[in-house]
Structure 1
Amino acid sequence: MTGPAPSAAGRIAPIRLIRWIRWYLREISGAADYDRHCLRHLREHPDRPVPTRRAYEAWRTRRREEHPQTRCC
């Protein structure tokens, strides 16, 4: 005998959890920052090519070093 088929709500909850985990990991890893940068670049500079991920990371590192923020540690 098999059990009852899972309801639609039972299938949706794990999908939402997976989506949330994916979103969270992209936010803490910085992958979402690059995506937002690309969208803004396309909006503000449609005639220029989008920088590669490597170029973006180099620019971001330079900017952080040139404009340090107050940090606790």
Structure 2
Amino acid sequence: MTAPNVRHWARTVRWYLRELMGEAEYDRYCERHRHRHAGAPVPTRREYDALRTRRREERPEGRCC
């Protein structure tokens, strides 16, 4: 394997793992928050997870249980 191929493979694996673990979702949320609420503090990852869980419980979408 050449060095560019290894770097491409490593970036692909990193992207996949970040999507799988939800890190990319939090990063996208932070960017939206900074854009829409300039100057307001960005919630921590823990606060974001609590918000997301609360929102899912309050408004279930397409869940049978």
Number of matched residues?
Answer: 65
Q: Which runs of 4+ in 1 moved over 3 A?
A: none
The one of 19, 25, 29 aligned to 1:27: 19
Q: Over aligned residue pairs, what C-alpha RMSD do you find?
A: 1.7
Instruction: Report the TM-score when normalising by structure 2.
Output: 0.91
Deviations 1:19-67 (A, max 9, x none): 0000000001101010000000000001210111100000000011111
Stretches of structure 1 that go unaligned for 5 or more consecutive residues are 1-8
- Asked which structure has the greater CA Rg, the reply is 1
Instruction: Report the TM-score when normalising by structure 1.
Output: 0.81
Identical counterparts, % of pairs: 54
Stretches of structure 2 that go unaligned for 5 or more consecutive residues are none
> Where do 1:47-62 residues align within 5 Å?
47-62=39-54
